[in-house]
Chains A and B, each alone.
Chain A
């Protein structure tokens, strides 16, 4: 550092850290980030309050690792790597965002000790890689698959959802929400499009009152004086201006020389709109949904014709509706015979709390559904939505790859055991790194215990002994009773994909940071 500044290679304000210093800086940064989210891990994890810097000082309360890390501003480059890793985990599998950061942090903590013992980082990486391969194959071998049996598979899914939700705010009603989530996912029939699950948040009521609706709920109003309930609806989904149908030919303008003519033109304009409405009604519909505004005149005409008209459904809403109802999005209305209309059994206005919403039931494509979340405040609702999203993501992954493992630190203990055995057979300094890897794996169940206020050393040691005594023991951390317990009995299951991703991403992140021996920070851009 001193050298480069002497010779003035870099710009003013830039800095360079080399070798030990650089490594130290990245270790410190990464471990700090890991420690930051560490306390949120597990069913007894704590929440964080995040206050935004922007206007309004918005407050978010969460224990979702990815959300926390997304919101904090970190300056340390190594910390940024961990933040990125947790984002990837979120995008990929949706859950385990905290675990992956904690795991990477533990790996780095162990690596720091090894570096201090004069083990070359490359040797550590080589050891970690081999240990990771070993752990991965163990994880694969201990996973089990119940996809062939729908009842068992459903039970698995339910357990996974419960495990995921148990670390979140929804833990009180986890039974209820796990059922909600599993029902919603199974309705997708293996198609992994979470878009089709629509989550509506309405304050008021309690979380327990949240429900899954098989139909589709649109948060819009029905026009005045129009039927509020339609059975056997034929629906036209459109994207067309229904305010004034402006002339699109460039440069056209209206220039008249008398008031009478103004009236004429106005009449013609109205006539044009009338004709348009007539054409729309001629499709034989009794419900018309438009992406754009519907003005009073056409609204009145629709009301006269007994057609329900819904205006200003935004673009996503329209696309989803078209998907759900099976109609096409229409913009011209000249050939009614060929347009595909949407259908549903019943449209009605329903009340949730204070708000009126439009409810479509008996839709053609049963794949979409809506989950209505109720809760005391927007913070709770936001957090509930995040938790539910996590659960849905995990379930989606599990439907795609049906392998499951037990939770509660069970896979980590098993992997650690195998890695340690490998280490005892491996010659050279790599073995040290492998042992460190095993310790880092055990740190996950230990953290779960710590967060629950339990004696982590005692419980993890008991677990280790249990697994040592019996090759296929099913013991894991039972946070409720504060001891080692049988995971199969407790019903703590996790998705194989999530665990695998935690293992791979965590190792990868640690490797990326370990490989760095030089940090160059450019001078910050001058801001006007």
Chain B
């Protein structure tokens, strides 16, 4: 059975140094190198990390490892994806982001708004023909907004499993909750997601017993329902 000589399963092969990635002038049968900075293989072009053009190029695309992982999820287990296919999809994704952002940005300009928000993205995605994505995205966004809303009601020093105490404090903070019930205030902050996205889930080994006072020594900023997002996604 004829076997493809293309490299596959290979994410660390050094890339061409120019800012234009197509067309390739090298053949596909170079052996793979497992070290991103290796210059010992036969590829005459600069390796991935020691060239300004390459760094800029990486900024233009999502990481190929992430892209490749998502691709593999939807093909059969014995399927293979060549490196050039992954790179092409990588480029397409960036083009998709630009395309949708451009539409969303135009809409904001027409409506004299300065900040592109999640709803603008949803609108642009629908307008450009990807309306099938909208329902899953709305669900995803709603979960995220739930968590952000919870985050505003719960003091930062609470660990995840002390939910009894959290509920008591939630009742105390109902007033705050009402004040912040306006749908736009929690969501338009540009950096409001910093805590959400940069912190790993907090998993404590402490036994879950209720305390009469807040644990000010534990400053995790984590969220009681943080793991809900991970369960689904």
Please determine whether chains A and B interact with each other in the same assembly.
no
